[in-house]
C-alpha cells in the first residue's frame, strides 16, 4: 500500500521508558518504518512515563484535520490498548487504532534468533525457555503471551513456559524455578520486551542460566508495524 505525505499519519504509540537506550530503539523503529515506506508520516506517542501522551498527539492531529492510525508498539493487547489507546482514539475524529504488534510469527522468529544468539540450543530437550513478558492484569494480554509461547514451542525442543514481570503469575523467577524442578538442565529467559528498561533490568535477577536481548533492533518488527497500519486502514 502506498502512502503520501497527506495520507494518514502513523502514530507509533509506545509504553514509555526512562531508559535512554530503550527510548532510542523505539524512535529508531518508527524511523525504520519510514525508511521502508517513503512518504509515510510518523510521529511518536506514549501511554506512560514520557511525553507526549497519545491523548495529546491524536487530539492535535484531529484538530488539524489530519487522519491518523495509532499503532500500539506493544506486544499484547492489555489495558493500554483496550483503555488508554481506545479512549484516545474514540475522542479524536478521523483516528483509528491498529492492533498491537503481537502475537505475530515474525516476533517469534526474532525471539528464536535471540535465543540462539545467547547460546541456547533449540534441539536440546533439557534446555527450557521461560518467555518473560511485562505482565498485565488483563486476561487478553496474558492470552496473547501464551499464544506467543505456543508458537515458539513449535521451533523449540525443550519446554517453553511463561513468566511475568508484574500483574500476572507466575513471576519470572518462579517460572525459572518451576522449569528447574521439572528437570531442565539449563533455563533460558527469553526477554519478550521490545527494548531495555525497567522490566528487562529485573530479568537479570531471575535465576536463569542465560538471558536474551530484547527484540529491538530488528527490521522484521518494522515490517509488522507497517502491516498493522495497513490493516487498520483497510479493515
Distance of CA 150 to the CA centre of its chain: 16
Q: Order the strands of the 9-14 sheet from edge to edge.
A: 42-46, 9-14, 68-72, 95-97
Query: What is the per-residue pLDDT across 55-83, written as a single tens digit (0 to 9) for each?
Result: 999 999 999 999 999 999 999 988 888 88
Q: Say whether pLDDT at 92 is over 60.
A: yes
Closest CA to 70 of 40, 100, 48: 100
What is the average pLDDT across 89-115? 97
Place of cell 519478550: 192
Q: What string of DSSP letters covers 44-102?
A: EEESSSSSSBHHHHHHHHHHTT--EEEEE--SS-SHIIIIIIHHHHHTSTTEEEPPPS-
Closest CA to 48 of 83, 82, 14, 97: 14
Query: What is the per-residue pLDDT across 2-56, written as a single tens digit (0 to 9) for each?
Result: 344 557 999 999 999 999 999 999 999 999 999 999 999 999 999 988 999 999 9
Q: Which three cell numbers stand for residue 31?
A: 524511523
pLDDT at residue 5, rounded to an integer: 54
What is the average pLDDT across 100-122? 98
pLDDT at residue 80, rounded to an integer: 83
Mean pLDDT of the chain: 94
Helices 139-153, 105-117: axis angle to 10 degrees equals 60
Q: Which three cell numbers stand for residue 57?
A: 498527539
Return all residues near 17 (Cβ < 8 A) that are at least 6 apart.
Answer: 23, 26, 49, 50, 195, 196, 197, 198
Residue 71: how many CB atoms within 10 A of its CB? 29
Compute the distance between CA of residue 24 and CA of residue 39 in angstroms, rounded to an integer: 22
Amino acid at each position: 500500500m502506498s502512502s503520501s505525505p497527506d495520507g494518514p499519519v502513523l502514530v507509533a504509540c509506545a509504553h514509555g521508558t526512562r531508559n535512554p537506550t530503550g527510548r532510542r530503539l523505539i524512535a529508531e523503529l518508527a524511523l525504520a518504518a519510514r525508511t521502508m515506506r517513503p512518504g509515510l508520516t510518523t510521529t511518536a506517542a506514549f501511554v506512560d512515563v514520557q511525553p507526549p501522551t497519545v491523548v495529546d498527539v491524536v487530539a492535535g492531529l484531529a484538530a488539524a484535520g489530519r487522519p491518523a492510525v495509532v499503532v500500539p508498539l506493544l506486544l499484547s493487547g492489555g489495558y493500554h490498548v483496550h483503555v488508554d489507546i481506545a479512549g484516545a482514539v474514540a475522542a479524536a475524529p478521523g483516528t483509528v487504532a491498529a492492533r498491537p504488534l503481537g502475537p505475530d510469527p515474525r516476533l517469534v522468529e526474532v525471539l528464536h534468533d535471540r535465543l540462539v544468539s545467547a547460546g541456547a540450543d533449540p534441539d536440546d530437550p533439557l534446555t527450557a525457555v521461560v518467555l518473560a513478558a511485562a505482565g498485565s492484569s488483563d486476561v487478553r494480554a496474558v492470552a496473547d503471551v501464551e499464544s506467543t509461547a505456543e508458537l515458539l514451542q513449535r521451533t523449540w525442543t525443550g519446554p517453553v513456559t511463561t513468566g511475568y514481570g508484574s500483574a500476572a503469575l507466575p513471576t519470572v523467577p518462579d517460572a525459572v524455578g518451576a522449569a528447574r524442578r521439572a528437570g531442565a538442565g539449563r533455563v533460558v529467559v527469553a526477554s519478550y520486551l521490545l527494548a531495555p528498561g525497567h522490566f528487562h533490568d529485573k530479568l537479570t535477577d531471575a535465576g536463569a542460566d542465560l538471558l536474551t536481548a530484547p527484540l529491538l533492533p530488528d527490521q522484521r518488527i518494522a515490517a509488522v508495524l507497517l502491516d498493522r497500519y495497513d490493516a487498520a486502514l483497510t479493515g
